[in-house]
Amino acid sequence: MSAPPASGDGVHVTTQQLVALESRARNLTFVQRARSHQQLAGRMQSAMRGRGLVFEELREYLPGDDVRAIDWRVTARTGKPVVRVYSEEKERPAIIVVDQRINMFFGSRLAMKSVAAAQAAMLAAWRILGSGDRVGGFVFDDESVSEIKPHRSRNAVIALADKIAEMNGRLRADYTGVPSPAALDGVLQKVASISHHDHLVIVVSDFDGHQEATRQLLLELSSRNDVICLLVYDPFLLELPKSGDIVVSGGTLQAELSLRQTGVRQSIDAFARNRGRELRDWQRQLGLPMLPISTADDVSAQLRSLLEQSAWRQRRR
């Protein structure tokens, strides 16, 4: 049975509800580090430039270790040579991209995709701030883009929550504007213009309207930064009912689809699965995490599980 929504009724979300997610962000980690090949660099290393060194662990001396790293007090106490291992402390500004277009205003279970995206983005923001890094972002809908510059402060995170809640509150079933499938590419171009290197970029979207240009933008970003994609989806398309009619809308137009017709069901099913395959192919080609966030379950629990699995896979490499 699904947990209740982390905030609100699952249709819209407020600044207060997003701020309250701070307590749920503990124990999440968005740091992906690779095994070190340097004997004195500690067990892990990152391509990021460091602010300094922080103590990580004591371990037995290995041939090739610098004798200057030996902890003589511990060595004398244990009778075996022991070295102190340090890792770099990272300065890694984070930019969170949050999709609040009309295509996100859909949900068949616990919450709208727009709400799940808002929650995922704020959980990331709170955790990154808790790690001591600067955090900011871009929030966009079909008509506008708002930028919150990265700062190491609660005010910056609350400003991000304000902007997400503001755009989220505009979403309505009777939306009469023009959907903008290319809006995501426009925002990624803005991110690329300021994320020259060593940023953490988290894109929270359903990736509606993705195309080759989107892949190239993500490739450019991931060549200089750490990029994580949180793919927000609703399980409805993967578990279509066997009968009945559904009404779908692109914002201004509506169409009724009869699920009793085999051809209709097969077409919708093929669309959903092909789109999933495209995004998984991106993940393999770009080498970046694409973590699926379902609208049917608690977002914080999903994020924690997905990040733990991602870290485990990284250690296995």
Domain assignments of the chain as residue spans, ordered by start:
15-28+91-234+285-316, 50-90
If you average pLDDT over residues 163-180, what whole number do you get?
A: 92
- pLDDT-derived band at 13 (thresholds 50, 70, 90) equals very high
Q: What integer pLDDT is reported at residue 175 of this predicted model?
A: 87
- Among 285, 299, 94, which Cα is nearest to 200's? 94
- pLDDT-derived band at 43 (thresholds 50, 70, 90) equals very low
Mean pLDDT is lowest, of 11-15, 22-26, 122-126, for 22-26
Task: Write out the two tokens for 208.
Answer: 């509606």
Fold of 15-28+91-234+285-316: Rossmann fold (3.40.50)
If you average pLDDT over residues 183-203, what whole number do you get?
A: 94
Q: Is the pLDDT of residue 141 over 50?
A: yes
Q: What integer pLDDT is reported at residue 35 of this predicted model?
A: 38
Highest-pLDDT range among 140-144, 248-252, 308-312: 140-144
Distance, in Å, from the CA atom of 84 to the CA atom of 105, rounded to the nearest integer, reads 52
Q: What integer pLDDT is reported at residue 68 of this predicted model?
A: 86
Q: What integer pLDDT is reported at residue 9 of this predicted model?
A: 82
64: left (phi over 0), alpha (psi -120 to 50) or beta: left
- pLDDT-derived band at 46 (thresholds 50, 70, 90) equals very low
Q: What integer pLDDT is reported at residue 47 of this predicted model?
A: 39
